[in-house]
Amino acid sequence: MDQSHIRNFSIIAHIDHGKSTLADRILEMTDTVEKREMKEQLLDSMDLERERGITIKLNAVQLVYHAKNGEDYIFHLIDTPGHVDFTYEVSRSLAACDGAILVVDAAQGVQAQTLANVYLALENDLEILPVLNKIDLPSAQPELVKKEIEDMIGLDCSDAVEISAKSGQGVEDVLEQIVAKLPSPSGKPNAPLQALVFDSLYDPYRGVIAFVSIKNGTIKPKDKIRFMASGAEYEVIEVGVRTPKEVQEDELSTGDVGWISAAIKNIENVRVGDTITHVENPAEKPLEGYRQMQPMVYCGLYPVDNARYDDLKDALAKLKLNDASLQYEPETSQALGFGFRCGFLGLLHMDVIEERLEREYNLNLIATSPSVIYHVYKTDGEMVAIDNPAALPPAQNIDRIEEPYVKAEILVPKEYVGAIMDLCQKKRGEYVDMQVIDEVRMQIVYELPLSEIIYDFFDKLKSSTKGYASFDYAFTGYRPSKLVKMDILLNGQIIDALSTIVFKDFAYRRGNAMTIKLKDLIPKQQFEIPVQAAIGGKIIARTNIKALRKNVLAKCYGGDISRKKKLLEKQKEGKKRMKMVGSVEIPQEAFMAVLSMDEE
């Protein structure tokens, strides 16, 4: 098809504003997917995505739209995640597009991620089409929200379509606007090939599949190609598009968004953000790279069964291929054996990666409590970056420790301002600014240590505002803090995987909360187990896990033992998820205890 009839676009939105539902409707209304094949949130193909109702991996789909002007258009729709942790994925999908549909909930209005995504879209020079969703909600205030978009973002909303993605109302107008208002791809089919790799996945039969947006030139099977950054060369085997089923094509030309397979076994060679060109008649230079995201949160991941270290290594390599923001390197723990220190964009990202490793690679994992990177200045003048509390040098060799701070922007209804300021103060926050957004909402800006945010800040934020607050944060720099390492001893033995770095003034409170939480999480065993928190050899908190005395002993009624047996089987499965450290059996959750303890 002629290039002027192609539209490449993403849908961007704050979480829950209806982006995936709109994508579903578009697929339906363009007959891309037949009704009977329609599952809710079709683009969310990972089980995890559908269960949680969030989009994690982007997905690109080709569809054909018969416009009202009588002509057919090819749309490439690239779905994007909405959560703050997945900004990297969003920036990758946006680089593959020429335009974006901005979905805003007509009841909730502009939220933190609405803004963040719009800025990413603007950075990528995309044309933006504002759309107001959930117009059928009784609480919808489309005129107010349009004004908000115009005031806060500066987008003209006079033509903004009002829709209900759920019922389909107004969606056709969105399709017409895509044709009328979004630009077609601008590249040249005769120029040397430049194909942007924006995603990839590993297929056990075909090797690495690269998802590409063809910016210039064409690509077809048997072409000799080169990845410009890694320098790796391959011969193309198949090319195609997703509709959303995989469909083979004879070639992909400028403006197309599709996939390439080339029997690529070495996953390291396919880097997201790289440019593919031809070996003969190559492009002069690669396309502009992506915004590289730096991990903010680190934790250790260990297989419960040490024999599965290699499987974990393999699984991480494959996930990294699919998720360029994941970082990892080997580490060892006295308590847990061999594992990896992994870096994530945020807590949800960490959670998702851990769950994908367990589900998709059938691994049984222990995750240690998350940590940020501390800059430790030693007395000899050297600076070491520490992402694992157990690796902190001895106190006498430390001159000072600096920790990362972030600027947090919190949007909150007026009545909760007090609660939020209170929370930020408790988390060592420093007040920066406060602004009135509209009649009901305020924006509060605080500088906060990142380490306080990665614990339970988000949960606390939500619970103290009935879920109304939203926030986004950006790294601002390192600052010195009074920090100490807190060790946890079980049965008198330091468990290195449970060590944390804490603010000195919080140490007693946190030590107490931690020991109590561990007492709850670790099941009673044959002997009494002292649980202690210590700073530099000094015990600051202590409790005991009493020896096991009595189980709940069910009767086997009428000779029916099946229920009893099921219970025992379940407990046995639970035991599989425990790690024997010395003589103590520790359940996986205990290593993350710090995330769920209550310090109040």
Partner 1 sequence: MSLACYIHVPFCKSICPYCDFCRILYDPKRVDPWLETIQKEIESALSWIRKQDGLRTLYLGGGTPNILSEDQLQTLVSPLIPYLHEDYEFTIECNPEALNEDKIKAMKKLGVNRVSLGVQSFQDDILRKLGRRHTKEMIERAIESLKRNGIENISIDLMYALPFQDQRDLKKDIEEFLKLDIMHLSIYSLILEENSAFGKAHMQPLDEDLEADEYEWIVKTLKEHGFDHYEISSFAKEGAYSKHNLAYWMDEDFIGIGAGASGRFLGARYHNTKDLDTYIRLGPCRTEEKTDGPFEAIMMGLRTSFGVDLKAYEEKYQIDLEKKARPLMKKYEGELMIQEGALKCDERGREKLNSILVDFLDLYA
Chain positions contacting partner 1, by CB under 8 A: 526, 546, 548-562, 564-565, 567-569, 571-572, 575
The residue whose two tokens read 């601002």 is 476
Q: For residues 165 and 531, which CB has a smaller minimum distance to partner 1 in the complex?
A: 531
Q: For residues 245 and 546, which CB has a smaller minimum distance to partner 1 in the complex?
A: 546
Q: How far is the CB of 593 from partner 1 (least distance, A)?
A: 20
Q: For residues 384 and 556, which CB has a smaller minimum distance to partner 1 in the complex?
A: 556
Q: How far is the CB of 529 from partner 1 (least distance, A)?
A: 15
Residue 420 marked as a ligand binder: no
Q: How far is the CB of 572 from partner 1 (least distance, A)?
A: 5
CA distances from 57 to 81, 90, 322 (A): 7, 9, 8
Task: In whole angstroms, give the CA distance from residue 3 to residue 494.
Answer: 65
- Token output for 451: 């380490």
477 Cβ contact partners less than 8 Å away, ≥ 6 residues apart: 404, 405
Task: In whole angstroms, give the CA distance from residue 387 to residue 521.
Answer: 25
- Token output for 531: 């649980």
- Token output for 72: 């057919």
Q: How far is the CB of 533 from partner 1 (least distance, A)?
A: 24
Q: How far is the CB of 459 from partner 1 (least distance, A)?
A: 22
Residue 20 marked as a ligand binder: yes
Q: For residues 204 and 558, which CB has a smaller minimum distance to partner 1 in the complex?
A: 558
Residue 134 marked as a ligand binder: yes
- Token output for 498: 């449970």
Q: How far is the CB of 578 from partner 1 (least distance, A)?
A: 11
Q: How far is the CB of 531 from partner 1 (least distance, A)?
A: 17
Crossing angle for the helix pair 112-123 and 87-95, to the nearest 10 degrees: 40
Q: How far is the CB of 574 from partner 1 (least distance, A)?
A: 9
Q: Which amino acid is at 52?
A: R
Residue 17 marked as a ligand binder: yes
Residue 19 marked as a ligand binder: yes
Task: In whole angstroms, give the CA distance from residue 190 to residue 179.
Answer: 25
Strand bridging mode 99-105 / 127-133: parallel
- Token output for 63: 């569809």
Q: How far is the CB of 335 from partner 1 (least distance, A)?
A: 21
The answer to whether 201 and 170 have CB atoms below 8 angstroms apart is no
CA 18 to chain centre: 18
CA 532 to chain centre: 34
Residue 16 marked as a ligand binder: yes
Task: In whole angstroms, give the CA distance from residue 134 to residue 132.
Answer: 7
Single out the residue of 239, 232, 245 nearest to residue 218, CA to CA.
239
Q: For residues 188 and 546, which CB has a smaller minimum distance to partner 1 in the complex?
A: 546
Q: How far is the CB of 248 from partner 1 (least distance, A)?
A: 46
Q: How far is the CB of 494 from partner 1 (least distance, A)?
A: 25
Single out the residue of 186, 163, 188 nearest to residue 174, CA to CA.
163
Single out the residue of 62, 27, 80 nearest to residue 253, CA to CA.
62
The residue whose two tokens read 């599949």 is 209
Q: For residues 119 and 527, which CB has a smaller minimum distance to partner 1 in the complex?
A: 527
Task: In whole angstroms, give the CA distance from residue 2 to residue 251.
Answer: 14
The residue whose two tokens read 């107004």 is 170
Question: What is the residue-wise DSSP string for 493-524?
Answer: EE-GGG-EEEEGGGHHHHHHHHHHHHHHHSPP
Q: For residues 384 and 567, which CB has a smaller minimum distance to partner 1 in the complex?
A: 567
Residue 21 marked as a ligand binder: yes
Residue 133 marked as a ligand binder: yes
The residue whose two tokens read 């994690």 is 56
Q: For residues 205 and 557, which CB has a smaller minimum distance to partner 1 in the complex?
A: 557
The DSSP call for residue 166 is T
- Token output for 598: 């209550």
The answer to whether 548 and 529 have CB atoms below 8 angstroms apart is no
Single out the residue of 236, 240, 210 nearest to residue 223, CA to CA.
236
Single out the residue of 99, 97, 132, 102 nearest to residue 116, CA to CA.
102
Q: For residues 222 and 550, which CB has a smaller minimum distance to partner 1 in the complex?
A: 550
Q: For residues 476 and 525, which CB has a smaller minimum distance to partner 1 in the complex?
A: 525
Binding residues for GTP: 16-21, 133-136
